[in-house]
Structure 1
Amino acid sequence: MPMIMLIIIGIAAGFLATRVMNVQADLPTTIVIGIAGALAGGFLLRMLLVMTTFAAGLVGAVLGAVAVIWLYQKYIER
């Protein structure tokens, strides 16, 4: 289903992109440009989200470990 949505969005994006970039292209070329752009952009965005999620998980893990060390030093190690 996400691929079908990217294709549908890509058709509209191709139309808008050719107008913004002032490219005179026929309808099939505009559709292909839009679909290719949507698929590439969707892939890149998913990769960025995966990397961001990994980085957020790493930061969260480090902060959690720092909190545990602080609690250990404050209350257990006396």
Structure 2
Amino acid sequence: MSVVFLIIIGAAAGFLATRLMRIETDIVTTVAIGVVGALIGGLVLRFLLVLTGIAAGFVGAVLGAMLLIWLYQSFIARR
């Protein structure tokens, strides 16, 4: 079941990635790009979570604060 799920998600991710990057590929290449991308993304995400551990919450808080500052500067401070 997980292999079928990986192929379906990979196909969707590959389709979206090829459209965002504006490249034309056949169906097999699109699915392959998506599946390999999902594997790489999953491994990188797991590695980052293991590496950061509790610090991931701190990184998320910093990124959230940066987003809030950007929104404030873009929309409120301009008035």
- TM-score range with shorter-chain normalisation? 0.5 to 0.7
Q: Which has the larger radius of gyration?
A: 1
Q: What letter matches 1:38 in structure 2?
A: A
Pairing of 1:25-40 with structure 2 (within 5 A) = 25-40=25-40
> What 5-or-longer segments of structure 1 have no aligned partner?
57-78
Question: 1:28-71 CA deviation, whole Å, 9 max, x = no partner?
Answer: 00000000000000000000011111657xxxxxxxxxxxxxxx
RMSD between aligned alpha carbons?
A: 2.3
Structure 2: state its 5+ residue gaps: 57-79
User: Percent identity at matched positions?
Assistant: 59
Normalised to the residue count of structure 1, the TM-score between the two structures is: 0.60
Is the contact between residue 7 and residue 31 of structure 2 (CA under 8 Å) also seen in structure 1? Answer: no
Q: Provide runs of 4+ in structure 1 moved above 6 Å.
A: none
Matched, 1:21 2:21: yes
- May I ask how many residue pairs the two structures share in their alignment? 56
